[in-house]
Structure 1
Amino acid sequence: MSSTAPHPTHLRVHQFAGLKTGPRLLVTGAVHGNEVAGTQGIERVLKEIDEGKLTLLRGTLTMIPIVNPLAYRLQRREGERNLNRNLRPAPIPQDFEDRIANQLCPWMAASDVLLDLHSFNNPGPAFAMMGPRDNDGELEPFRHEQAEAALAACVGTSRIVEGWLSTYALGLQRRAGRVSDGSRQASLVQDPHYGVGTTEYMRSQGGYCITLECGQHADPQGPEVAYKAILRTLTLLGMIAPGAVELADPQRPIELLQLYEVIDREHADDRFAQSWSSFDEIQQGQLIGTRHDGTEVRAPAGGRIIFPNNNAQAGQEWFYLARYSDRKLPQ
């Protein structure tokens, strides 16, 4: 469908209000329009609630199956821009995603917990992303480290990643020194707020949250991962009775990684040295790619490469690097 087709004019939001007080959980899918595992998982939960197979015992459950209906209609990541960057209310909306943000941000501010369901380009297993440790810093002050870590541990993935916003800030500092072409896209990627997406905005409003990457976009198990994660979250929060789905074993091994570097693509002819997948292991000094002028890009330390993007535009994220974290998860 052409991007000139009429834009969607509403968000579909489902809310269930328990008759007993409890947590306010928001579950979101298709923040990126081609990431539909979360949408399918949410729709399955909605059906089971409507059929009486699931009963909300307490609290408020809000679910938005398709957060970006324009991108979803176009079957691509973005409508007019990336909704999961520079997310905040826009007094004077400049694009479709600004208008979505004006509806989405109040829903997040009215919630205590957010489960944001995504998927990714390259093959690989599902993983969770969580926020910072408790701190009073200026970048992302936080007070729910233990609750968020428990949420990340409960959804069933074997890998958890931390350190998104602090790493993204490093890239922003580098971009600030570049000459802008004056476009809105260039101004956005150099905006200090650009690293803020759904989870970062949620934490800024006093809540806690995780991003769950449910696997590769077309992975047939992705909707099942999303569905079970929703039920496990509801069980963890005491919003449904135990037994709807088996909870993740707290004793299972989990690989915990900390992002520490983001490398941008500087030119359309920058090339990877090999076909990388997220979480491929790398050694210190290993060749990752070559710039258009022949400059080699090598790993500064051992660890893993994350989100390698062959289709990255010049001036945007090419890949991330992660090291093994010393953080302890709740048992």
Structure 2
Amino acid sequence: MNYVIRKLGFYAAALWAALTLNFIIPRLLPGNPVDILLAKLQQRGGSITEETRKSYSILLGGDDTQPILAQYWTYLVNIFQGDLGVSISYFPAKVTDVIGASMPWTVILVGVSTIIAALLGILLGALVGWKPGTWLDSLVPATTLLAAVPYFWLALVLVYILSRGLGLFPGQGGYNVVLDPGFNGPFILSAIEHAILPALTIVIASLGGWLLGMRNMMVSTLSEDYVLTARAKGLPDRWILRNYAARNAVLPSVAGFAISLGFVVSGSVVTEQVFSYPGIGSRLLAAVTNNDYALMQGVFLYITIAVLAANLLVDLLYSLVDPRTRARG
């Protein structure tokens, strides 16, 4: 129980620090979202007054005429009320609505791809590490080479070969625009078809890291005394692989998997941009391009919460898998 309380306290402090940085950093950047909206209004012939500026400032989630501490307090209150302001890029839509509309696309695409890459990489890494020096080791340089290839280049190659060349999958978009979005068969099949190429890009690019990490841990674990003792007792190889070697070698990958799941929320900006995929990555890129600080803050907030929640979960699960961590914690 003390271990859990300490972890909760640590992550609560980390969340407060992240919220504070999320408040400070956009205010250090050049430009002002209120000025951007007022400039657009002026270009359309609108009149600019102090009341107009204050109204826009409040609309975007705060009043920049207030002292910085008052703005910080208003920012924290708005966050805990679920009010992240209004997006400039998608004005007058609220930031929560913009993120909510794009979040499922990224969570499904990147989440499923990350799970597939992790499971496949850990399984192959365990097999390769179990018999180092065999022909299976040739998988390591091949997958590592693919992991070193730039994301956008790999995505473009897959589009050129599988979409333009062979015509197997759509090359861009999240679904067929002639269909009505919803939980119906044609739309779901179209969404799956459009997600195959982006998912394949993520799996190929990240598979090598999982395989190499698991392979190296397996090689290290096989030299441990408890594995040598199990072999000396004449236990079956499958039993040793599953219950001694792989079980202990997979522990670092569990921590890495939690971090990867946390970053699922951020999506893959480059991949989504290449495939024109309607995920959170494309929204973040639009926010940066348009100096949309409210949307940037909202996306970073979701990323922060996702990463902290994933790490908290893995810390709690890790203590169950490896009880020694409770004593060290």
| TM-score, scaled relative to structure 1 | 0.19
Name the structure with the higher strand share. 1
With a CA cutoff of 8 Å and minimum separation of 6, indicate the structure with the bigger relative contact order. Answer: 2
Structure exhibiting the larger radius of gyration computed from Cα positions: 2
Name the structure with the higher helix share. 2
| TM-score, scaled relative to structure 2 | 0.19
